[in-house]
Each structure stands twice: as C-alpha cells, then as structure tokens.
C-alpha cells in the first residue's frame, strides 16, 4: 500500500558548501565532523549560494548549520542563514540565531516552502556607496522557483521567477536579519535530501451517493505530501495525518478522527515488534470500535509509507492514560481497508488483438486467448476495451469510435448491449477508451466538432450521465483513466495542438435520487512534458506517463499525482508508444502498445514483445 514517492538525485555542490555546514555521519568506523566558516564580501556582483553537495546522502548523514560569526558582514549573515535552513534540526535553532530578536518571535519557518531549481542568488541592493543606510542593509534573493509546499505539506509544481528581500539591522553591534518572508527557501537538491514523500490516507466521501451499497465505506484515498525525513518521521506522518486532507482533496475525502484530535506524546516510534502505540487526546476517546479501527487504518497505511524499511505489524490507539481504545493488525487492515480489498481480481491482462477481438493473458504468457462472451468473438470489431475490476464485465468501443458496447465476460452471454452512440463525423473523434472505477461505474468521453463530453454509466448499465468538467471549455479530452476509488480521474486534454495530463477530483452533489457529478480543480501531473501520449494509474498516488519534453524524444516515466517526479528507477525506452497500462498493484508488469506490437515490461526486466498485432492494452479498471 502506498507508492514509493521519492525523488531523483541532485548534482554535487562546490567545496565551499562543505565549509559552511557541519555534517555528522554515523559510520561503522566512527563519526566525522566537518565544520568551518567562510567570509563573503559585501560589494561586487551577485553572490551565488550553491546547491547541496549531499542530495543523495545516506540516511544516516545529518547536516547542521554553523552559528553566525562575530563581525560577519550582511551578505555573510544571509548566506549563513540560507545554509542553516538546510539543517537537520527540528526547530531550526541555528537558523534563528541569524535573526534579530523581534524576527525570531514572528518568523514562521514552516508556513510554506519555496523550492528553487538551485539555491537563490543573494544580491546586495544599490551601489557599494549606499547599500548601508540609516535603517540597515537589504539583500535581494533571486532564482527560478519550481514548486511550493504549503502549510499542510502539499507539493504544487509552480515554475516562475522567484524574488524576495531580506533586511538586516545591527543588534548589539552585530548584523542580524530583522525582516524576511515567512517560510523556507530551498534549492531542489536540498529539498530532495531533507524531505521525503509519503501518502496520507483518508476515506472517500461519496456524499449524495454515499447511501448506495456500491459506495464502499472503507475506501481509502491517498493524499500525497512531503515531510522532513530525519526528524521523528513517524511522529511527523501521524501529526500530518491529523491535520486532515490537503486543500485539493478535502472536498472529496474525510478523516475518521474527530476534529482537533492530537497526539499527546511528543515522539512516536515502532517497538521491537514493529507495532505502533499512539496516545490520543480526549477528542478521540468517544470513538466506537468501528470508528477507532478506521482511525487505526489511516495511521497504519500512512506510517507504512514513512517507515518503508519496516512493515508496521500493528497499530494500537490509546487514551492519554494509556488505556487501549482499539488495535488493528496489518493483516486485518490489508483485508478490510487495503487497495486489494476493493480490487481483488487482477489476474489478467487485456488488449484488442489484430482481429479486433478482446483477448486476455496472464503476466507470464505470450499467447493470448479471446475472452468469453460476445466481445471475444470478433463479430463486433473493436478498437479499445475497458474491463471492470471484478473481471465479469467489459466495455468495448467500435472500430469507427461511434458505439460503446457492454457485455458480460461469460460464455453464456450471447449479446453485447449498445449503451452509447456518438455523433462524431470522423474516426479520430468519437469515443475514448472506456474506464471503470472500483464502484462498478463506467466512464468514457465523447468527442466531436463542438468539443468533448465526459459521461458516466452507473454500473455500466444506466443512462449515460454527463459529468461537468470545470474549466474544460472547448478543449478536447483525448483519453481518461479514473482511479479505482472513483474520486480521482486522470485526463489527457488537448489544447491548441498540445496535450497535457491533468488530474481532477470527482465531486458528487445533488440528491440521492438525482446526483450531479462534476470534475473540479484540474491540475497538471506532468508539467514538464510538452506533449503527453498516454497515462495509466500505477499505484495509490502514482501514474506511468508517456510523453516528451519540448524539443526532446518520447520517454516513459512515473509521476506522482501532485506533479512531482517519482524516484522509481528509470524505465527502459521502447519505440512509438501509443498506449500504456499499469496495475494499481505495483508488482505487476507494464504493458504498452508500441511499434513492436504489444510489449510487456516485467519488474526488473526489459521489454518483451508478446504480440506483433494489437492495440489498447489494459488492466481491469
């Protein structure tokens, strides 16, 4: 449960970086302490503050800032402060020594984090003759911002110019920063070293459709965040969980924890049996057994993402007194709340073969067989297919893209029902490949000269219901992939010849008798890609994406739903990919429609051709 949401490695820094920071490495031979200081002139050209030299450092390495030196000049103070921001100190106490007393009281370091491509350049304002005035000294910080992490730890790609100022004044004869923006500013390599990606977990909120039996009560939705990885990581992940869903997800997900619940012990760690005991405040003491186990499930899956090296065996929630509220073992959590609990059947891979039939195969087979039922006979020529999670029903789009067929995958089923017809005039328009959520609902987009419509068919049988896509306008939906939770949907959207991958949240309004669905808050998943060809869900908060950067060649990579890049190993190249499929079970191979035909990429292996003819490979979903 929970994708490995790490990031890539940064490049090495320059020698002065080692003189500006103290690094403590706990090694078998002992410990090494690197310390020192450097000076910096307060005039001249822009002063670059270089990147971290240890973005790929071992997890045992600790970095600590150096306190300000007596008589340090203003730019020296700013540079030392920026170095100290990269410290592995819980409260950044060394960084605060660079601040004047009033600023130490008002500065909020964790209000936000600005992530820059490199650490900012510090430039003194004005000319050498007038930089220092009666009120102090001003230094401008500049750089290229690539992302923002907000107070709830949510990562948002945000490429733009960065410029802020810091003002210094003399305090007891020493230069100190007396005015500065709230939050941290870090170069990307520093951010990658300090922060670890982790999924928090909340329960899907189906609102107007919550009363329906198919809307599960225990469907967990991943909420990706970034947390400091060397400072009480287990405690940090539980505290972040208790903050509630991030701003993007909070409209469609809820926590089982009562409002204002907090941890009453400052540090949480796994014991020798990898069990976690969490003492909670009085707000949680009234939870009944079922609610308490739901709370424990949230904790277990969230902490498991932060403590990947150890499998969490059990979570026990306790009153502040130490009395037990409930216990949840890992096996029970996986069975009742895990992704596999709601998507149990993922045995086969599917695609449309050269005879336009739906065929299936196992992960190791090279020969596919037609599926049982009318979609496997070849009597209906198909160009794409979507298989429901239970693998009992499938939906196929006709070769001309104008008809949607739904049929049981059963030898006794003789007829495929036409559930939707498109009025598109050309085969390049018409219906996208269908996609099923874990609730058993079928999703598809219809495209024509007037734009695109997103549609949902309840249980694959109901009347197609149009789903508003806020902000879509006349842009064209090229393909869709709905997550098994039915809460998130990935969409390839074409605008003026450029195709981007966007993630939207599915909101359910209206009433139980007349629900109204909409997709809100579209956000880019792969902002660095100029043109995206295909995408598929590949984990709780991860997708595999095929596209190219501006002026580059096609590439396949994993991306997180917050727009950050996964640290999963680089995928080997394959030529001319037009479609890709991944399972939400991350141990399953990738499948692609490429120049070589239908190809498969097992874990820790290379691409292998399994069929020279075929299109539209999919896993159930």
Average pLDDT over residues 201-226: 91
pLDDT for the residue numbered 488: 98
Looking at residue 428, its pLDDT comes to 85
pLDDT at 474: 87
* Widest pairwise Cα distance in the chain: 90
- Whole-number Å distance between alpha carbons of 572 and 596: 14
What pTM does this model have? 0.88
Residue 49 pLDDT > 60, yes or no? Answer: no
Q: Tell me the pLDDT band of 13, cut-offs 50, 70 and 90.
A: very low
Per the structure block, which two tokens stand in for 586?
Answer: 């991350």
Model pLDDT, residue 130:
44
The mean predicted confidence, pLDDT, of the chain is 87
Instruction: Measure CA of the first residue to CA of the last residue in the chain; give whole Å.
Output: 18
Q: Higher confidence at residue 5 or residue 91?
A: 91
Indicate if the pLDDT at residue 432 is higher than 70.
Answer: yes
Which pLDDT score is estimated for 133? 58
Work out the percent of the chain whose per-residue pLDDT is above 70: 87
Q: Does residue 341 surpass a pLDDT of 90? A: no
- Number of neighbours of residue 126 by Cβ within 10 angstroms: 11
Instruction: Please name which of 548, 533, 543, 529 lies closest in space to residue 619, comparing C-alpha atoms.
Output: 543
Residues 277, 309 contacting (CB under 8 angstroms): no
User: What average pLDDT does range 422-445 have in this prediction?
Assistant: 94
Among the listed residues 197, 193, 217, 171, the one whose alpha carbon sits nearest the alpha carbon of residue 72: 171
Query: Is 219 a residue whose pLDDT tops 70?
Result: yes
Residue 415 has pLDDT above 70, yes or no: yes
Query: Three-class SS of residue 202?
Result: strand
CA dist 335 and 198 (Å) reads: 22
Domain ranges of the chain: 15-195, 205-341, 343-618
pLDDT for residue 305: 82
Give the Cα separation of 390 and 161 in Å (integer).
48
Task: State the pLDDT at residue 204.
Answer: 96
pLDDT value at 9 more than 60: no
Q: Tell whether the model's pLDDT for residue 59 goes beyond 60.
A: no
**Distances, alpha carbon 167 to alpha carbons 125, 418, 480, in Å:** 10, 69, 50
Strands 113-116 and 195-204: unpaired
DSSP notation for 325-336? EEEEEHHHHHHH
pLDDT at residue number 212? 83
pLDDT at res. 125: 75
* Distance of alpha carbon 413 from alpha carbon 144, whole angstroms: 59
Residue range 510-514: average pLDDT? 92
More confident residue, 43 or 102: 102
d(CA 158, CA 563): 10
Which residues have C-beta within 8 Å of that of residue 110, sequence separation ≥ 6? 151, 183, 184
pLDDT at 405 over 80: yes
CA–CA separation, 296 and 277 (whole Å):
10
Average pLDDT estimate for 318-344 = 84
Per-residue confidence (pLDDT) for residue 241, from 0 to 100: 98
| Residue 230: how many other CB atoms lie within 10 Å | 18
Q: Residue 24: pLDDT above 50?
A: no
Q: Does domain 343-618 have CATH number 2.120.10.30?
A: yes
- CA separation for the pair 27, 32 (Å, rounded): 8
Spatial distance between the Cα atoms of 337 and 302, rounded to a whole number of angstroms: 12
For 123-175, write each residue's pLDDT tens digit: 997 544 445 556 789 999 999 999 999 999 999 999 999 999 999 999 999 99
Residue 194's φ and ψ, nearest 5 degrees, are -80, -40
pLDDT one-digit tens code per residue, 520-569: 999 999 988 989 999 999 999 999 999 998 888 999 999 999 999 877 66
pLDDT at res. 231: 87
Q: How far apart are CA 10 and CA 330, in angstroms?
A: 35
What is the per-residue pLDDT for 521?
A: 96
What pLDDT does 569 receive?
A: 67
Count of CB atoms situated within 10 Å of the CB of 145: 18
Contact call for residues 307 and 300 (beta carbons, < 8 A): no
| Res. 362: pLDDT tops 70 | yes
Considering only residues 49 and 408, tell me which one the structure prediction assigns the higher pLDDT. Answer: 408
Nearest to 62 by CA among 301, 219, 230: 230
Tell me if 345 sits within 8 A of 619, measured CB to CB.
no
- Of 106-115, 134-143, 389-398, the poorest mean pLDDT is in 134-143
pLDDT bin (cut points 50, 70, 90) of residue 63 is confident
Residue 459 clears pLDDT 50, i.e. is over it:
yes
H/E run at residue 86: none
Mind giving me the DSSP string for 355-391?
A: TS-EEEE-SS-S--EEPSSGGGSSSS-EEEEEE-TTS
What gap in Å lies between CA 390 and CA 600, rounded to an integer? 23
Point out the least confidently predicted range of 90-94, 135-139, 430-434. Answer: 135-139
Encoding tokens for residue 448? 């024509």
How is residue 11 written in tokens? 């490049």
**Looking at the predicted structure, is the pLDDT value of residue 53 above 70?**
no
What is the pLDDT at residue 413? 92
Average pLDDT over residues 39-43: 40
Question: What integer is the mean pLDDT of 250-269?
Answer: 95
pLDDT confidence tier of residue 291, bands split at 50, 70 and 90: very high
pLDDT at 22: 42
**H or E stretch including 101?**
helix 101-106
Which pLDDT score, from 0 to 100, does residue 346 have?
A: 58
Question: Is the per-residue pLDDT at 42 higher than 80?
Answer: no
pLDDT, tens only, 478-507: 999 999 999 999 999 999 889 999 999 999
């Amino acid at each position: 449960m929970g994708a490995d949401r790490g990031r890539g490695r940064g490049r090495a820094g320059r020698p002065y970086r080692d003189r500006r920071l103290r690094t403590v490495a706990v090694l078998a031979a002992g410990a090494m302490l690197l310390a020192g200081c450097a000076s910096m002139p307060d005039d001249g050209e822009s002063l670059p503050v270089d990147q971290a030299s240890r973005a790929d450092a071992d997890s045992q390495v600790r970095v600590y800032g150096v306190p300000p030196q007596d008589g340090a000049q203003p730019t020296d103070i700013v540079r030392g402060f920026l170095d100290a921001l990269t410290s592995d100190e819980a409260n950044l106490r060394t960084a605060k020594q660079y601040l004047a007393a009033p600023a130490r009281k008002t500065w909020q370091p964790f209000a936000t984090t600005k992530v820059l491509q490199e650490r900012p350049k510090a430039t003194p304002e004005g000319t050498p003759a007038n930089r220092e005035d009666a009120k102090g000294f001003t230094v401008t910080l500049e750089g290229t911002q690539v992302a923002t992490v907000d107070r709830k730890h949510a990562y948002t790609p945000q490429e733009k110019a960065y410029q802020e100022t810091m003002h210094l004044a003399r305090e007891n004869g020493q230069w100190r920063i007396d005015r500065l923006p709230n939050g941290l500013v870090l170069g990307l390599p520093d951010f990658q070293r300090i922060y670890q990606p982790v999924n928090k977990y909340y329960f899907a909120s189906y609102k107007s459709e919550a009363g329906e039996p198919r809307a599960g009560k225990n469907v967990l939705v991943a909420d990706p965040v970034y947390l400091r990885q060397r400072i009480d990581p287990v405690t940090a992940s539980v505290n972040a969980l208790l903050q509630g869903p991030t701003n993007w997800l909070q409209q469609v997900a809820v926590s089982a924890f009562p409002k204002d619940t907090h941890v009453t012990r400052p540090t949480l760690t796994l014991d020798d049996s990898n069990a976690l005991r969490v003492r909670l405040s009085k707000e949680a003491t009234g939870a009944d057994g079922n609610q308490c186990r739901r709370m424990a499930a949230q904790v277990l899956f969230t902490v498991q993402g932060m403590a990947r090296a150890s499998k969490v065996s059990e979570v026990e929630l306790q009153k502040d007194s130490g009395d037990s509220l409930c216990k949840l073992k890992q096996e029970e959590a996986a069975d009742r709340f895990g992704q596999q609990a709601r998507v149990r059947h993922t045995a086969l891979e599917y695609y449309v073969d050269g005879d336009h039939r739906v065929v299936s195969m196992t992960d190791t087979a090279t020969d596919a067989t037609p599926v049982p039922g009318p979609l496997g006979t070849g009597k209906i020529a198909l160009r794409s297919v979507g298989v429901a999670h239970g693998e009992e029903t499938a939906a196929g789009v006709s070769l001309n893209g104008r008809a949607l067929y739904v049929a049981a995958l059963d030898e006794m089923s003789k007829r495929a029902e036409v559930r939707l017809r498109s009025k598109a005039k050309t085969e390049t328009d018409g219906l996208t490949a269908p996609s099923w959520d874990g609730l058993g609902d079928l999703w598809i987009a219809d495209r024509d000269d007037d734009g695109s419509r997103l549609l949902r068919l309840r249980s694959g049988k109901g009347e197609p219901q149009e789903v508003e896509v806020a902000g879509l306008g006349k842009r064209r939906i090229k393909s869709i992939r709905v997550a098994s939770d039915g809460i998130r949907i990935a969409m390839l959207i074409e605008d003026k010849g450029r195709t981007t991958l966007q993630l939207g949240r599915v909101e359910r309004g209206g009433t139980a008798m007349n629900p109204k669905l909409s997709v809100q808050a579209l956000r880019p998943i792969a902002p660095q890609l100029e043109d995206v060809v295909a995408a598929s869900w590949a984990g709780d908060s991860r997708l595999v994406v095929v596209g190219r950067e501006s002026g580059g060649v096609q590439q396949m990579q994993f991306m997180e739903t917050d727009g950050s890049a996964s640290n999963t190993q680089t995928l080997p190249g394959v030529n001319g990919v037009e479609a890709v499929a991944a399972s939400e079970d991350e141990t399953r191979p990738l499948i692609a429609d490429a120049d070589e035909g239908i190809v498969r990429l097992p874990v820790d292996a290379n691409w292998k051709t399994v069929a020279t003819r075929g299109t539209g490979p999919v896993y159930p979903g």
